[in-house]
Amino acid sequence: MAAAVSGHCVLPTNKLSLSSSSSSFSGNVLVRLPQLSLFSPPSRAIGGKISCQSSSVTSSPPAPAFGKEKPQWNDFLHIDDFDKATIMKMLDRAAEVKALLKSGERVYLPFKGKTMAMIFAKPSMRTRVSFETGFFLLGGHAIYLGPDDIQMGKREETRDVARVLSRYNDVIMARVFAHQDILDLAKYSSVPVINGLTDYNHPCQIMADALTMIEHVGQTCHKLQVVYVGDGNNIVHSWLLLASVVPFHFVCACPKGFEPDQKTVEKARRAGISKIEITNDPKEAVRGADVVYSDVWASMGQKEEAAHRRQVFQGFQVDEQLMKLAGPRAYFMHCLPAERGVEVTDAVIEAPNSIVFAQAENRMHAQNAIMLHALGL
């Protein structure tokens, strides 16, 4: 079974559980690949189950002081700014563009002649390389602006940065500390703004995670159980926000005092779409999990707390014994970078059921789809 591409390229369908087919690229390349369906029974079973969710704070309307007004939906700030159909459409597109790039074809260039400003208040290997490479492979040019290049909010006000960069670039991606910074960028920018991470949430990561689970776990939606073990941080908030849009069973096991934001938990529960559990018992939490997920115990900006957190988080390390409790079919995921020997053992990361590097690769493919959506391409 293969999908035809205009010209001389033929792309095989990938081994996902798929439901309908069809999808096209503008320009001189047409790719027909089966449409992904995270939340309906697969026509060809591939093992497991899946589903996803979104966020809580919405950006205020853009202030088009000197630039043209933009559609608010063009920004990608929180997963729950979108409905399930839109999220699934972006994930479908991610799989299509990934297959095209894997085929070796380099004729689909939707970003040709476009530039992206990348603001990094927080440095990151994965975020920079995945965005910059993805934008380049699809024909665009990305500009890196590191912590000392702008000093947003210190050397220059965020609203001024947004309006200046909007006049030079077609899209802005920002990885910042304060969530208000991304909201202000979106408010004053006249071009789409993509949230590359804030202290509150990390929507691009969760989109990549959803794509990875489609590829490896399969799909049976509401039966999927994702168990996060560790600090109730921005990754957990993004999982909760995803769970308020698409159905699955999400469990967060964290020490007392390190639970996720209560308003975000309540929002996910009020949506009534997914089963949400917050617990302090990791051993009970992982039983029957399809995915066991971990992250560092002390994020960037919390390193002075690292020693204290290592004491408090004793018993929350994902090791071989915890994975055995989850069962032989459970996959391990981690958004990276990992502190091996701290929140996860080396043996778990290197195990056959670890999909952390496929997960890292999918950052680029998920973000390509997000950028295409943001730019209306």
Give the catalytic positions in this structure. 335
Is residue 172 within 8 A of residue 189, CB to CB? The reply is: yes
- CB neighbours (10 Å) of residue 1? 8
Is residue 108 within 8 A of residue 29, CB to CB? The reply is: yes
Alpha carbon distance 162, 115 (integer Å)? 15
Query: How would DSSP label each residue in 100-133?
Result: HHHTT-----TTTT-EEEEEESS--HHHHHHHHH
Beta bridge partners of 96: none
- Looking at beta carbons, which pairs linking 146-149 to residues 24 or more positions away fall under 8 Å? 146/120, 147/120, 147/121, 147/122, 147/123
Instruction: Return the closest-CA partner of residue 266 out of 241, 295, 298, 231.
Output: 241
Alpha carbon distance 224, 329 (integer Å)? 12
Q: Which residues contact 267 (CB under 8 A, 6 or more apart)?
A: 56, 80, 240, 241, 244
CA distances from 13 to 28, 120, 162 (A): 20, 36, 41
Instruction: Return the closest-CA partner of residue 218 out of 12, 8, 15.
Output: 15
**For residue 336, what are its two tokens?**
């990276």
